[in-house]
Structure 1
Amino acid sequence: MKSQTIEGELTIYTAATEKQSLMNFLDTDSELELNLSQVSEMDTAGLQILILMKNEARRQGKVLRYVMHSKPVLEILEMTNVTTSFGDQIILT
């Protein structure tokens, strides 16, 4: 299993760069883990990237897990009511 951490913002200002980086990451293995603990800010553009990544992983028959959700990530997931939609375990600290 290959793992990667997103650091900093996952917002409209970083979406294009992050999307390309994450799409490249998706090509590296069939089982992937994306650590979200270092995401300092996230908006709906960031959420769209996470949704896109999950859908693309499923389309390719790959497993993609989101782990270690930071507070900004959890806030956006809760605000948009998609906390359980990804199927990843969320541990509240």
Structure 2
Amino acid sequence: MSTGRVAIDGELNIYRAADLKTLLQGELSRSSVLEVDLAGVTEVDSAGLQVLMLAKQTARAENRELRLVGHSPAVLEVFELLDLGAWFGDALVIGPRAA
């Protein structure tokens, strides 16, 4: 198996959740390691978050690795609000907050 890479741009929301779920599951089935670049994500809602969580759980269950990289400000905001950084287990780069 190989390493795959997927970049998600735009909204990660209920309107795209089904398509993104299919995309990520397909890429996971072809790769032992899948990197999902979130740098272009402009919005995340609960459905989008569920897609990412399902992909991570699927990877773990199948002894594959899913890495979330390039977290956009929208992704960081949701991960920080819900304290999900540790759950996903990926390095998050969070700059200092404005005073």
- Cα distance in 2 between the residues matched to 1:91 and 1:13: 28
- Determine what percentage of the aligned residue pairs are the same residue: 42
Gaps of 5+ in 1: none
Per the normalisation by structure 2, the TM-score is 0.88
Instruction: Choose which of 18, 24, 29 in structure 2 pairs with 1:16.
Output: 18
Runs of 4+ with deviation above 4 angstroms: none
1:37-68 superposed Cα distances (whole Å, 9 cap, x missing partner): 01111111111111100000011110110001
Work out the number of aligned pairs and report it: 93
Match of 1:73 in 2: 75
Per the normalisation by structure 1, the TM-score is 0.93
Instruction: Supply the RMSD in Å over aligned alpha carbons.
Output: 1.0
- Cα distance in 2 between the residues matched to 1:28 and 1:38: 23
Bigger Rg, structure 1 or 2: 2
Gaps of 5+ in 2: none
